[in-house]
Structure 1
Amino acid sequence: MTEPAVSVRDMRVIFDEYVALKDVSVSVQPKESFGIVGESGSGKSTLLRAIAGLNSFVSGDLKVNGKSYPAKGRDKTFYRTVQMVFQDPYGSLHPRQTVDRLLLEPLAIHGFTDTEARIARALDEVGLGNGFRFRYSHQLSGGQRQRIAIARALIVEPKILLLDEPTSALDASIQAEILNLLEQARRDRDLTFIMVSHDLGVISHMCDRLAVMKGGEVVETILPEALTSRAFEADYTRQLLVASEGFRRD
């Protein structure tokens, strides 16, 4: 059996005395696009950030490609393998750094030497030319900022991309462009995706499987087709489906 790209077992996250994740377990296969959905406060972003090492977990186990990682203190190997794209393209890019500097920094950290070629290729891959290299983030639109954030994540050649609501801060027309860009990158690079979204329409379009979360727990894991055929078990999933803007009841 193939080793999971990401395996989370019995993960528990506590903020002060609030239990944000209650012994959550998920398993994501290599090259799979795995979605996590749920209402605000369900724990979906907390889970993603715990996988990324941005939130500490108090118990449980995290494995990436079979290697165990602690709650804190990830090494460079982890961040060469796992990169994250955040929800807010306005907040995730340093306002005083040019695009060139933003893309050069991860290359320097991970010891790449062919920086010129990699920056040019990264910008081309996200549909932006070399003319954007020396612009600042405030000179870019929201969609262009998110393209730069994706380029920065891809430039170190990760195998796993964590996506935290990557299009929710963008206009609807730009959302489709960014989702298509991500899907093309996944096919070209054989990437594994873990995508958090409140939008069931986005998740069902992008993902092979999805976990439904409520109150810090995984309610069920289903295929996207189960949403349209109503072939799910949890009543909460039905409520989420009805409430989602991406679907309409007959």
Structure 2
Amino acid sequence: MTSALSIKDMLVSFDDYVALRNVSLEVVKGESFGIVGESGSGKSTLLRAVAGLATFQQGRLAVNGRDYSGRRRDKEFYRTVQMVFQDPYGSLHPRQTVDRLLLEPLAIHGIADTEARIVRALDEVGLGPSFRFHYSHQLSGGQRQRIAIARALIVEPQILLLDEPTSALDASIQAEILNLLEQARRDRNLTFVMVSHDLGVISHMCERLAVMRNGEVVEGLSSADLANRKVSEDYTKRLLVASEGFVR
């Protein structure tokens, strides 16, 4: 099986605080991989370190076999790896129209045929061309997150980093966004790395997952093991109990 994302012994520290301690993960091409843990466990920091938004002081990062340890990300990296953030309100520029928000990454990467790509991207996330000249403040939270997903998909990435992509949305909208993401993964053969505090979301979306605590991976398991409570760590068992809506 071919590796899409390989992380070996990653260390991230901020002054005297160690946010990630010797984290290692292997994500296979085409799979959806989940990362769970309580607040402050290092989940989002890990995604940000992969995306180049946080610096890792030690360790190795490889994407599709290409090593990015200790080097700046290039355009190829940012076209291959895209990230969708938790907050659809903060991730979109308030003074840019949807059209401009979608045109910008195409311009950065020198991608032509912009008109057709923008129309396709909006259609893929369930929004019509009438949304092109709306500003983000004119959109609902769910619509904003759809635009954020469209902006990530429009450059045709291979890996999507998803940082709690539905936690800021109403419960009625969450399932729609998750279904949209899963459809995009199937259609495009994408690799997902999804962070969530919600074990129900992870068990639904992901084949495998890592459990993080205090900046370390304490357990790795399949979603089937999670659903059947076949976990070894007491910490994971406590997460199961605490995960609202997961335990019946």
> Structure 1 residue 69: deviation in Å?
0.5
> Structure 1 residue 71: deviation in Å?
4.5
TM-score (norm 2): 0.99
Letter in structure 2 aligned against 1:178: I
Deviations 1:67-105 (A, max 9, x none): 000345200000110000000000000000000000000
Q: Please state whether the residue corresponding to 1:36 is helix, strand or coil.
A: strand
Corresponding residue for 2:28? Answer: 29
Tell me, yes or no, if structure 1 residue 244 matches structure 2 residue 247. no
> Structure 1 residue 247: deviation in Å?
1.7
1:62-211 to 2 correspondences below 5 Å: 62-71=61-70, 73-211=72-210
Deviations 1:217-248 (A, max 9, x none): 00111011112222111110000000001322
Letter in structure 1 aligned against 2:24: S
**Kept in 2: contact 1:84–1:153 (CA 8 A):** yes
Deviations 1:18-61 (A, max 9, x none): 00000000000000000000000000110011011101000000
Give distance in 2, aligned partners of 1:198 and 1:246. 12
Deviations 1:151-189 (A, max 9, x none): 000000000000000000000010000000000000000
Please identify, of 68-77 and 230-239, the stretch whose mean Cα deviation from structure 2 is larger. 68-77
Give distance in 1, aligned partners of 2:44 and 2:209. 14
Corresponding residue for 2:56? Answer: 57
**Kept in 2: contact 1:104–1:115 (CA 8 A):** yes
TM-score (norm 1): 0.98
Give distance in 1, aligned partners of 2:227 and 2:104. 44
**Kept in 1: contact 2:62–2:69 (CA 8 A):** no
Please identify, of 171-180 and 65-74, the stretch whose mean Cα deviation from structure 2 is larger. 65-74
Give distance in 2, aligned partners of 1:227 and 1:40. 20
Unpaired runs of 5+ residues, structure 1, are: none
Deviations 1:190-222 (A, max 9, x none): 000000000000000000100000000001110
Give distance in 1, aligned partners of 2:182 and 2:228. 24
Letter in structure 2 aligned against 1:101: R
Letter in structure 1 aligned against 2:230: A
Corresponding residue for 1:230? Answer: 229
Tell me, yes or no, if structure 1 residue 7 matches structure 2 residue 9. no
Give distance in 2, aligned partners of 1:116 and 1:248. 47
Give distance in 1, aligned partners of 2:71 and 2:19. 17
Q: How many residues align?
A: 248
Q: Please state whether the residue corresponding to 2:91 is helix, strand or coil.
A: coil
> Structure 1 residue 113: deviation in Å?
1.3
Q: 1:131 to 1:150 in 2, by over 3 A?
A: same
The share of aligned pairs that are identical, in percent, is 77
Moved runs in structure 1, 4+ residues, more than 4 A?
Answer: none
> Structure 1 residue 106: deviation in Å?
0.1
Give distance in 1, aligned partners of 2:183 and 2:70. 32
Letter in structure 1 aligned against 2:72: G
Q: Please state whether the residue corresponding to 1:5 is helix, strand or coil.
A: strand
Give distance in 2, aligned partners of 1:163 and 1:39. 16
Give distance in 2, aligned partners of 1:149 and 1:63. 25
CA RMSD, Structure 1 to Structure 2 (Å)? 0.8
